[in-house]
Amino acid sequence: MPNPPVGCVIVQGDEAVGLGFHPRAGEPHAEVFALRGAGARARGATAYVTLEPCHHHGRTPPCTEALITSGVRRVVVAALDPNPAVAGRGVQALRDAGINVAVGVLETQATRQQAGFRSLIVRGRPWVVAKYAMTLDGKVAAPDEGNGQVSGEVARARAMTWRNELDAVAVGSGTLHSDDPALTTRGLSGGRDARAVVFDRRARSSLQAHAWRPGSVLVTAPDANTSAFEAAGVTVVQTATLLDALTGLGRLDISSLLLEGGPGLLSAFLDAGLVDEVRVFIAPKLLGLGLSPLTSPARRMHEAQELRDVTVETLGPDVLVTGLLSDI
Ligand code: AOF
Ligand code: ZN
């Protein structure tokens, strides 16, 4: 964060002679690693890259220069870079240098992968992913047990990879109080923890909760007393609306936010039109009474929010359904 995940492959004939990806902000871009691998075999080759090559001096020099110097003949770009410092200039520079450039190959897949980066640079706020696991009858928790496991091991492992991939993971004060979630990435070698974000309008959460660790963020109302949190080293964002809260998280370079509950937080985001993507696990269990994932006030079917670009996958005994509520 806040840079995009980008991959590049250099292909000579039908052989991949160089592979690269951008590991983190401050380190070289994908193209540079791929061109290093290809060496002299880049001459006359085709470079495939998931994001338009940059044409500006950021933390690193422009990739257009590296590509032109390498002698590649053709560049295939999945998606243009919405960064105002690039925005088509990268493609133009390559074409001006006589390189054949194709744009828009596997664009949907690439933009979905880059959703956080694109959201932050275009809207100034993170891409918001709502996630929950429910039984076949649509319950996320049993009446007498707040945090019993709904989904199976394979599904839970998948959800852990999201805590590694997204920049931040958020819960409301109700979930913090009832479940005391650790919000860490477990069981993943080389994984990193997303920043923990707690939405607590009154700032009354216990500082003993596991979610508070270095880098954790408290989002609260403008008039809340936050001195104890600040003294404990928690980053505080004080705003009156959820939209402003997201902009505040964007200022912290948080480009993607995984909403992990509970129903109050999810519904507040959904009702404000601020959920961009939904990922739901459905476990083949029948519970009966229990907690619904949402408390939204829709009364008729036409008021339901309908997902686009829906994917369905089975994970062990569970089903994962994902879809988008906004355009990338
Ligand atoms: C590329 N290839 O692999 C990536 C790009 O501060 P810098 O130098 O790292 O530049 C960051 C910007 O460069 C970022 O905002 C985005 O526009 C672009 N990222 N571009 O050609 C890459 N990661
Ligand atoms: Zn670059």
Half-sphere exposure of 169 (CA within 13 A, CB side): 26
Ligand nearest to the CA of 62: 2
Distance from C-alpha of 225 to C-alpha of 200, rounded to nearest angstrom: 11
7 CA: nearest ligand 1 atom: 3
Question: Which residue has its alpha carbon closest to ligand 1 atom 18?
Answer: 54
What's the CA gap between 226 and 151, in Å, rounded?
A: 36
Q: How many angstroms separate the CA atoms of 16 and 37, rounded?
A: 10
What's the pTM value of the predicted model, to 2 decimals? 0.92
Q: Whose CA is nearest to atom 14 of ligand 1?
A: 3
Q: How far apart are CA 62 and CA 59, in angstroms?
A: 10
Residue range 215-235: mean pLDDT, rounded: 96
Q: Is residue 18 helix, strand or coil?
A: strand
Predicted local confidence at residue 42, as pLDDT: 97
Tracing tokens 């257009």 back to the chain, one arrives at: 64
Residue 47 in contact with residue 31, Cβ under 8 Å?
yes
DSSP 227-252: HHHHHTT-EEEE-SSHHHHHHHHHHT
Separation between Cα atoms, residue 51 and residue 73, nearest integer Å? 18
DSSP states along 136-184:
TTS-SBBTTBTT---S-HHHHHHHHHHHHHSSEEEEEHHHHHHH-----
Chain position carrying tokens 């989904």: 151
Distance (Å) from CA 55 to ligand 1 centroid: 9
Q: Rounded distance, CA 54 to CA 77, Å?
A: 12
Pick from 19, 29, 67, 83 the residue to mutate for probing ligand 1's pocket: most ligand atoms within 8 Å of its CB.
Answer: 29
Ligand 1 centroid, distance to 3 Cα (angstroms): 6
Span from the CA of 49 to the centroid of ligand 1 (angstroms): 12
Percent of the chain predicted with pLDDT > 70: 100
User: CB within 6 Å of ligand 1 — which residues?
Assistant: 3-4, 6, 22, 25, 29-31, 51, 53-54, 58-60, 63, 81, 83, 86
| pLDDT range class, residue 286, cuts 50, 70, 90 | very high
Q: For ligand 1, atom 2, which residue shows the shortest CA distance? A: 29
Question: CA angle 192-194-195, nearest 5°?
Answer: 130
- Rounded to an integer, the average pLDDT of 184-198 is 85
Lowest-pLDDT choice from 103-117, 177-191, 273-287:
177-191
Strand 46-51's sheet: what is its strand order? 15-21, 7-12, 46-51, 74-79, 100-103
Paired strand residues for 169: 196, 258
Does the complex come out with an ipTM higher than 0.90?
yes
- At 277 the pLDDT is 97
Which residue among 15, 27, 31, 145 is the active-site one?
31
Contact 307, 156 (CB under 8 A): no
pLDDT band at 187 (very low <50, low <70, confident <90, very high): confident
SS3 (DSSP) at 66: helix
State the distance from the centre of ligand 1 to the C-alpha of 128, rounded, in angstroms.
Answer: 22
SS3 297: coil
Express each pLDDT in 156-178 by its tens digit.
999 999 999 999 999 999 999 98
Nearest ligand (C-alpha, residue 2): 1
**Which atom of ligand 1 is nearest to 63's Cα?**
21
Using alpha carbons only, give the angle 106, 191, 17 rounded to the nearest 5 degrees: 45
Please give the DSSP secondary-structure letter assigned to residue 318. Answer: E
pLDDT of amino acid 111:
95
Answer yes or no: 31 catalytic: yes
Tokens at residue 273, please? 């039109």
pLDDT surpassing 90 at residue 276: yes
DSSP-derived secondary structure for 254-281: --EEEE---HHHHHHHHHTT---EEEEE
Note the ligand closest to the C-alpha atom of 8.
1
**146: pLDDT strictly greater than 80:** no
Shortest-distance atom of ligand 1 to CA 85:
17
Work out whether strand 256-259 and strand 217-220 pair parallel, antiparallel, or are unpaired.
unpaired
> Amino acid identity, residue 99?
I
For the residues of 187-218, what is the DSSP string, one character each?
S-TT--PPEEEEE-TT----TTSTT-STT-EE
Which residues surround the ion ligand 2 when the cut-off is CB under 5 Å?
29, 54, 63
Q: How does the average pLDDT of the chain come out, rounded?
A: 95
Out of 3, 8, 48, 55, mutate this one to test ligand 1's pocket (max ligand atoms within 8 Å of CB): namely 3
Query: Of all atoms in ligand 1, which is nearest to the CA of residue 8?
Result: 3
Of 59-63, 115-119, 135-139, 232-236, which range is least confident?
59-63
User: Residue whose CA is closest, atom 4 of ligand 1?
Assistant: 29
Question: Is the predicted pLDDT of residue 190 greater than 80, yes or no?
Answer: no
**Strand, coil or helix: 327:** coil
N- to C-terminal Cα separation, the chain: 18
73-124: pLDDT as tens digits: 999 999 999 999 999 999 999 999 999 999 999 999 999 999 999 999 999 9
What confidence score (pLDDT) does residue 45 get?
98
